[in-house]
Amino acid sequence: MIEKDATLKAMLPFRTRGRHYQKPALWKRIVKWTLLSVLFIVLTAGLAGFIFVYRTLGKIGTNTEVIYEAEQKLDIPLPDEPVNILLMGTDQDPDGDSKRSDSIMLVRVNPQGECLSILSIPRDLLVDIPGVGQDKINAAYAIGGVPLAIETVRDFTGLPIHHFVLVDYDGFRQAVDAVGGVYVDVDRRYFNDNSNAAWGEAYEPIDLQPGYQKLNGADALSYVRYRHEDSDFVRIKRQQYFLRDAKAQALHWGNFTKIPELADVFASNTTSDISRSEILSLTKFILSVDRNHIFQAQAPIDESGGMGSYLLPSEDQLPQVIAAFEDPDFQTPEPPAPEEQAGLSDAAKQASIEVLNGNGVEGSAADAAQVLTSNGCTSVSVGGNAEFDYDQNQVYYRPGARAAAEEIGKLMQPAEVAPLPAGIDTQAQLLLVVGDSFAAERTREQVSSEGLHFVSDPDEGRMRWQEADDQMPFAASKPGEFPREFEYVDFHTYEIDTDEGPQPALKVVARDENGYYWGIMETTFKDAPLLDNPTVTREIDGRTYNFYYEGDNLRVLSWEDGDIVVWISNSLQNSLSEETMLRLARSFTSVR
């Protein structure tokens, strides 16, 4: 490692070099980004605002003792190469006498590759701390401050550390408030008030309902730091997704008018070796990076077990994660191709069909009629009861309608198809009598390739769906198929605070077979920032789906349904496969 000194600072790629140095095209772009950042501030905050911002940011680059000591340990960035920045969030101990690094991230800024990489490191990870021995990685900062934290992260990752940023959590709270809040899809109910906590077992208080909502600074801080019932891995995922959401929303034009306030918050709560000119160029670059060109990962954990409160790193997986961090692959994932299903012909869809109950099970005829209409039949009516002795579904047809009857028979199989007997009174071209086989078919299980048992028209959550639908001003829809291994946990009806006024919303929280939370959102808030810039858009069965990926994982799958938008959100652990999410989405049907 080469240590910095005053003569080498000119080699920093974000700073102006000597007048004899010829800047490559890459750094000309960075200079352009800096000028654009200045222009944004001047246009939105005025000249006085720009002077305030520039002077305020200058507070960060002062040569304090902390910065001086840290600079002795930082590596020299090479020309035209990516820059690694150690980002640490500090937290005051309850006694107020000491601070610890509560969050540790390594950020790789790669202007040439036009991408950003973020490696989160669990604070309880057991590592070798130079001159100390083995301990949790966040102990490095508590023992030796920024210099020892730099050495420890460098030794653990094998990567050079070019810059550092130390952020106080109070600054995080103030920054969120300064931009007016951040929209987040809260995955489940979070609550803790310490009212029954034993001495020494108190956690940060939190009170958040599930659902897509705008969080203020205090709630956002509670959300990203929560770990009372979660692992460090889950907390890191919350932090990563929050940062991704905040970055996307920071691009909204209105937030540029808040640059002076943000600059003051940043300067007052941040310690860093990065100068104000570098901050302007870095900020512009980070905001310009496409959401699909952000790589996020966590230092791998040995799943075989830890040592008490210590997490053991996975020595086998770490080199692969570091390699992906340095050179991420941003190939656009290809959504899974759904199984092809033969649709009904136009003649079958347009045929008039009357449905009778032939099994004595209440609601069978209405359920069968819904199956027909959901498959495109346009003239379906429910009649009365037939004799309750039909074992199988029966499709009768008038002359000239045999082909349509055979198609309906295949749709409702097992079913028998026959000419309409004399004496049966119906004006329809086809008469469907629902037999015992229909009730059995509607409740039978289909096993997916992952071993999930999908149940058609499940009883699971039916009453709660109906209760939620009654409270909504729009027609809610629900999965027509649901895995037997899953369960509904929470139904939350509420309003989302937006610039256009409150928007009605329904958040449904479910758990998968591993106990991980995933969700369904339905709302009239079609302009939700979460839904900007889908990775892939595909039309399936006449419905347009938007796929949002994080690496190879499908995070969100959305579609519009009349006046509302619906989306399925994966768990923080990304435990739902693309196949499962798409199968759930394609099965959605009206609750009413």
Residues 478, 357 within the same domain: no
β pairing state of 415-419 and 445-447: unpaired
Residues 518, 565 within the same domain: yes
Residue type, position 198, single letter: A
SS3 call for 419: strand
Distance from C-alpha of 189 to C-alpha of 494, rounded to nearest angstrom: 14
Domain stops at, among 422, 443, 464: 443
Residues 352, 486 within the same domain: no
Residues 408, 538 within the same domain: no
Residues 544, 424 within the same domain: no
97 burial type by CB count under 10 A (0-12 exposed, 13-18 middle, 19+ buried): exposed
Distance from C-alpha of 273 to C-alpha of 341, rounded to nearest angstrom: 60
Residue 592's pLDDT is what?
77
| CA separation, residue 367 to residues 248, 373, 409, 436, 457 (Å) | 44, 10, 16, 13, 9
Tokens standing for 68? Answer: 């001086």
Residue 528 belongs to a domain: yes
SS3 call for 9: helix
Tokens standing for 224? Answer: 């990203």
CATH number of residue 397's parent domain: 3.30.70.2390
Residues 568, 474 within the same domain: yes
Helix 259-268 vs helix 25-57: crossing angle, to nearest 10: 80
Distance from C-alpha of 44 to C-alpha of 254, rounded to nearest angstrom: 9
Q: What angle do CA 337, 338, 344 make, to 5 degrees?
A: 135
Residue 433 belongs to a domain: yes
Domain stops at, among 403, 423, 443: 443
- The answer to whether the CB of 393 falls within 8 A of the CB of 434 is yes
**pTM greater than 0.85:** no
Sign of CA dihedral 307, 313, 317, 321: positive
Helix 364-374 vs helix 402-411: crossing angle, to nearest 10: 110
Helix 217-225 vs helix 169-178: crossing angle, to nearest 10: 130
Residue 466 belongs to a domain: yes
Distance from C-alpha of 295 to C-alpha of 300, rounded to nearest angstrom: 15
- The answer to whether the CB of 355 falls within 8 A of the CB of 432 is yes
Residues 383, 468 within the same domain: no
Residues 385, 402 within the same domain: yes
Residue 567 belongs to a domain: yes
Residue 537 belongs to a domain: yes
Residue 185 belongs to a domain: no
What's the domain range around 373? Answer: 346-443
Distance from C-alpha of 361 to C-alpha of 494, rounded to nearest angstrom: 36
Residues 541, 479 within the same domain: yes
Q: How far is CA 516 from the centre of its chain?
A: 14
Domain stops at, among 408, 443, 478: 443
Cα-only R_g, the chain: 30
Report how far apart the first and last C-alpha atoms of the chain are (Å, whole number).
Answer: 67
Q: What angle do CA 559, 565, 569 make, to 5 degrees?
A: 70
Residue 467 belongs to a domain: yes
Instruction: Report the domain count for the chain.
Output: 2
CATH number of residue 465's parent domain: 3.40.1000
Cis before 260? omega within 30: no
Q: What share of the chain is helix, strand, coil (3-state, %, to 5)?
A: 35, 30, 40
Residues 424, 351 within the same domain: yes
Residue 408 belongs to a domain: yes
Neighbours of 248 (CB within 10 A): 18
Residue 170's pLDDT is what?
80
Stretches in the chain below the pLDDT threshold 70: 1-63, 91-101, 194-203, 228, 250-263, 276-277, 280, 305-308, 336-343, 439-449, 457
Neighbours of 17 (CB within 10 A): 14
Task: Identify the bridge partners of residue 125 per DSSP, sorted by sequence position.
Answer: 311
Tokens standing for 581? Answer: 């999410």
- State the chain's maximal CA–CA distance in angstroms: 103
Residues 434, 475 within the same domain: no
Tokens standing for 446? Answer: 């289909």
Residues 381, 498 within the same domain: no
